[in-house]
Amino acid sequence: SQTIHQWPATLVQPVGSPLSLECTVEGTSNPNLYWYRQAAGRGLQLLFYSVGIGQISSEVPQNLSASRPQDRQFILSSKKLLLSDSGFYLCAWSAGDGLLAFFGQGTRLTVV
């Protein structure tokens, strides 16, 4: 069966520090991969999605970037964190038709 792993579960980082959140999927090939952010009191905002290795689409201008170095690995990064980057980050995957998404357990990021 397919599983999605996302880590770390929680992270506290100072302003200006770098960020790297990792997400991996097991049990499937060529998944579509997504990063979402859920800010306090707000819904889920799609940040990036990827339909293949090295193919990244950015949905909103921001301080973050994403990379997909391997088929089932999706990384969310920042060179210098801002306070406004705080939130709950969710990784998700879907099969080729994109019609059913499965979510990781999320990372709670607090920038202080």
Partner 1 sequence: AQSVTQPDIHITVSEGASLELRCNYSYGATPYLFWYVQSPGQGLQLLLKYFSGDTLVQGIKGFEAEFKRSQSSFNLRKPSVHWSDAAEYFCAVVPSGGTYKYIFGTGTRLKVLA
Contact positions vs partner 1 (CB under 8 A): 6, 32, 34, 36, 42-46, 49, 51, 59, 90, 92, 94, 97-106, 108
- Minimum CB separation from partner 1 for residue 43, in Å? 4
DSSP E strand stretches across the chain: 3-7, 10-13, 19-26, 32-38, 44-52, 55-58, 65-70, 73-78, 87-94, 101-103, 107-111
> What angle is formed at CA 76 by the lines to CA 41 and CA 55, rounded to 5 degrees?
115
Find the shortest distance in angstroms from Cβ 83 to partner 1.
21
Look at residues 87, 78, 100 and name the one whose alpha carbon lies nearest to residue 4.
100
Instruction: Kindly state the smallest distance separating residue 1's Cβ from partner 1, in Å.
Output: 15
Q: Which is nearer to partner 1, 3 or 63 (CB)?
A: 3
- Residue 17 or 105: the one with the smaller Cβ distance to partner 1 is 105
Closer to partner 1 by Cβ: residue 45 or 73: 45
